[in-house]
Structures are given as structure tokens and as C-alpha cells.
Chain A
């Protein structure tokens, strides 16, 4: 998509529009980053030497090294006390194969990804568009939508437990009004996971909405106004200008969504505890319940490693195909 006019250079024209005051971000041409043909100067090397080490050192010491050690535990039968001693090679991985609960967890994780991509993200995008527009109280709406993300899991799990309670919750109110027997959704083997999905959408859509709002806030208004003056409809403006410029942020949000879905754990514990009959576990809650709380830390680590490789495969595949230029 090309524009017929490129924005005025910074040194000319006073700030007649706020977007120009900001320096006119997001020209259409810069929807794709143009790689500079610069050779690395001394200044460049100095920057690298000063700017990079803090992040790398912190990350290596507190994240990378513990991760490697944790992965190493996967080869042991260890209860978490003292040092790992019983080396059992790949046996932990063997226990995983054919473990019906783990298979169920994989399916659950896949369900979360599907629902996130098909329901949660579009919802977040729609809301972001609405609250980035000129609606009275937009900032308040943004805050309300973000609130579930802020609420501590222990409270969220408890309240939703009440919501789904067959006697006193929302479900109870419905069955009471219809004169039916109380129905306990969280005790239903087939449908309990749908309760989990509802809570996940509720909790995380605000996070993605915030990402999209940040992206939208960087879009040059003059582009949209120019298009409107040229006679483009709202839908055309959205489809041809807004959406492409939001592209990098959307692709990143999908990335976080999938990775986050694979790592989901915090909401499962207070809401269902993995039940009923282990039908609502995710891989990480499986790891927590069957590994850590049962003092089979080695087994838990093995699950972590399997999850890691699934994530790595996705991450690198996704970035190669979809985020090549970002």
C-alpha cells in the first residue's frame, strides 16, 4: 500500500496536528522496517557494549541457568530434597507417553489456543478500536477491561467458583428460575473445561486489548483523515490503513497468546484444581500437580522440557513464517 504524499520532513512545518508534533510516526512506508545499510561504527560498538550486557547478564543468571538445571533434573527420580541422586535417564519421558492425563492436558492446551485466537483476540481488537475512538470515558473503559488481568488469581478463582456454584451462583439462579435441579458445572466431566475457557477469556482479553491500544496510539491520524477526505469508508480505512499498520503488534499479540496459552497455569489451581477427574488440566498444571506437589520434581522437569520443545517449535516456526520482517 503506498501513499501519494510522503509526510513533510521534521525541520519544516510547525505542529499543526498533534501527530506532526510527535514527529509523524507510522508513515505507510514504515509499516515495514527498512534495514539500514550501515556498517558498524565505533559508536555502534560502544552502544552494544553498554546497552546489551545488563539484560543478558540478568537473564542468564536468573532465567537461563536455572532453566538448564531444571531441565537436567528431568533425568532423575528426585523428590526435591537435597540433591538429585537417582539417575534414571529417559524413564520420566517414558512415563509421559501413554499417560492419559497428560494427553488430555495437551488437548486442553490446544482448545485454549483455538478459543484465544478465534474469540479472545478478535474481541480484544474490537474493543481496542472502540476505546481508542472518541467515546466519552474511554480511559475508564480501558481500565475496566484491564481489571481482570490485575485481579489476583486466588480472588478470581474463588469468585468464579461461586459464579458456577450450582446452589448459590449464577448457574444456581438460572436453574432455580427454570425450576430445574441445581447443576454443578465444575463437577461435570464434559463441560467443566468450558468454564475454564470462559474465565481465561475474561482474564486475558484486557491484556491484548492494551497491546492493540498501544499500537493504535502510534498510528498517524493525518493518514486516516486524508483517506476519509478521499472518500474512504470506515471499513475501508480500517482494512487498508489501520490493520496493516497494526500488523506487527497483532502478530506479536498472537505470539504471546499462543505461548501464554501453552504456559497457562495460574487460574486452574484455584478454579478446578485440575478436576473433575483430571479433565481440566493444562500441561503446566499437570506438571505442578503430578510433579511438584507429589514430590516428583524430576518428572515435573521432564514435563517442563517437553513443553519447552513444543513452545520452541512453535516459536521458531511462527517467527520464520509470519514475523520475518518485524
Chain B
């Protein structure tokens, strides 16, 4: 990464000197190793034969069955379910950011009758376990004619993300200096323009964070797509996994290989989001 981008990432003062820097790096490596080990084990088990998973789940494969991964990658199903998951997740992220940032902006800067009440109302969404509400939710989706359609999954997912997103975005929006808004208003800038030209561009990090959280939530979603989709052609990858489960045995090596392959797009999104926001921060400097 170039130094300019590094600048915007690393915010805590000068590079720590000598031994401190080394110690920190070593500590990070140790933690990273411990954290990564289970994920690596998942990936490695995807290269093993099924029988080896039972007797050697955490070691290197004795026989490297690359055909497991290759078979998945060359199959049509993988790309189809991946495409579905991507479509759903991207639209969920886009809509969540749009809808939640608008609402968060309103709550951050405008005082009106019932605003505290409405904010608390939205918060309630965090406090009730989703699993209980799946039956009435299904009926709503059905009555709106959204069964077996992507929107039947996207819209509820956006709705569920709103509570957390609004809270995070509102907190971040309020940490922009209030003098900015005052002077902007005195210059004749309305709320709409302020939102699009100042708030959003300055909120890169939090927008990217909320986007990632919404993406991951949608990407790993299982129960909602299960009750909404009937056509196999629309299955996201979490439902596509069912193909590996059988009566006599579950092909765990294929399940784990498949899951490993589906983490990759999520990682890609993560890196893209971080980079994109950084680019937004260093390019176009905001002058009044």
C-alpha cells in the first residue's frame, strides 16, 4: 500500500520506534495465527478425503484431493448460487446504506415532535429474537406477493439491518462538528445538499463498516431464503449446501470446501470496501 493511503489508515501518530514496533507486530502475529487456525482448518479439510476428516481433522492432509475444490469450481451450481448470494447481498447493502443513512441523518440533526420515540421504536428491532417472528414474516411476504422472489429476501434483510445501521450512522454523523452544519446553513445550503455533499463523503469509514456488517449478515443468511425461495435456481449458497447432504453421509469435505470458496467473495468485498473508502478520503479533499 502506498504511503498516502497508509496515512489515512494509520491514525495514531508517528510510527512507534524499534522494540515497541517489533513487540506489537509479534503480538499481532500470534493472535492472528490463533484466530486463523480454525479457518485454515476449514480450508484444509476441504482438500481431504471424507474419512480423513474424522481421524485427522486438524492436521495437514495426507492426500491432497484438489479435485474437491476443482469439482466445485467447474460446476455450474457454484457460480449460480454465488451469483444469487451476491445479487441479494449487494442490493441489501445498497438499500440499507441508503435508507439507514437518510434516517440517521434526520435523527442526528433534526429535532421534532416524536423523534426520540421513533428512534427508540427503531431500536426495538435489535431486542427481539428473529427466530420467533419467522412465521408471521412469511405470511407478510406471501401477502405482498414476494414469495420466490429476490425482493422477498432483500427487503426484510434491509428492514432487520435498519436498527443497528441507524444507531451506528447517527452516532458517527453527530461526531461531525456542528459548526460545519451551522456555517453551511448560513451559506444557504439546505439539509439535502449538506447530506449528499458533506455528511456522506466525510463518513467513509462508518459507511464502509455498516456496509460490511450488512453484507456479511445477508451473505450468511439461511432461514429467510429457505422459507422464501421455492425455485432452486434462486438458491443462495447457504441453501446450495443442501446438495452435499445425504442420507448415508454428509460429504463434509465438499461442504467445507464449498464454504471456504464462499468466504472468498466476502473477503473481496471487505478489501474493496476498505480501499474504496480510503480512496474517497484522500482524493477529493473537501473545501468549503
Contacts and interface: CB of A to CB of B under 8 A. Distances in A.
Given A145-B35, A210-B212, A287 B131 contact: yes
Given A25-B177, A36-B109, A152 B238 contact: yes
B232 interface: no
A185 to B, nearest CB: 15
B135 interface: yes
Contact of B158 (A58, A216, A303): A58
Given A40-B111, A59-B159, A221-B11, A130 B256 contact: no
A48 B110 contact: yes
B19 interface: no
A63 B125 contact: yes
A154 B259 contact: yes
Given A52-B103, A139-B1, A134 B54 contact: no
B32 A134 contact: no
Contacts of B182: 36
A144 B122 CA distance: 32
Interface string B213-255: 1001001100000000000000000100100000000001001
Contacts of A317: none
A163 B38 CA distance: 8
Given A65-B136, A133-B12, A144 B288 contact: no
Contacts, number: 348
Contacts of B112: 40, 44-45, 48
9 closest Cβ pairs, A-B complex:
A21-B285, A62-B159, A311-B127, A55-B103, A162-B57, A51-B102, A10-B288, A69-B136, A304-B132
Interface in A19-59: 21-27, 29-31, 33-36, 38, 40, 43-48, 50-52, 54-56, 58-59
Contacts of A61: 140, 144, 159
Interface in B150-180: 155-156, 158-160, 162-164, 166-168, 171-172, 174-178, 180
Contacts of B262: 152
A90 interface: no
A119 interface: no
Interface stretch (A93-101, A164-172, A175-183): A164-172
A194 B8 CA distance: 39
B56 A168 contact: yes
B39 A62 contact: no
Contact of B286 (A21, A29, A52, A151): A21
Contact of B58 (A45, A170, A301): A170
B281 interface: yes
B27 interface: yes
A27 B180 CA distance: 12
A88 interface: no
Interface residues of A, number: 127
Among A30, A51, A129, A263, max chain B CB count under 10 A is at: A51
Interface stretch (B62-70, B72-80, B267-275): B267-275
Contact of A23 (B36, B128, B286): B286
Contact of B209 (A15, A159, A210): A210
B209 to A, nearest CB: 4
Among A10, A144, A152, max chain B CB count under 10 A is at: A152
A86 to B, nearest CB: 16
A110 interface: no
A2 interface: no
Given A133-B16, A134-B15, A316-B120, A36 B178 contact: yes
Among A34, A54, A131, A148, max chain B CB count under 10 A is at: A54
B252 A287 contact: no
B28 A131 contact: yes
Interface in B72-123: 98-100, 102-103, 105-106, 109-112, 118, 120-123
B190 interface: yes
A131 B220 CA distance: 26
Contact of A150 (B24, B137, B140, B216): B216
Contact of B160 (A62, A130, A256): A62
Interface in A203-227: 206-207, 210-211, 213-214, 216-219, 221, 224-225
Among A27, A130, A217, A218, max chain B CB count under 10 A is at: A217
A37 to B, nearest CB: 10
Contact of B28 (A35, A135, A170, A234): A135
B99 to A, nearest CB: 5
Nearest to A31: B175
B41 A159 contact: yes
B126 A259 contact: yes
Contact of B11 (A40, A65, A142, A219): A219
Given A25-B175, A54-B102, A144-B32, A47 B192 contact: yes
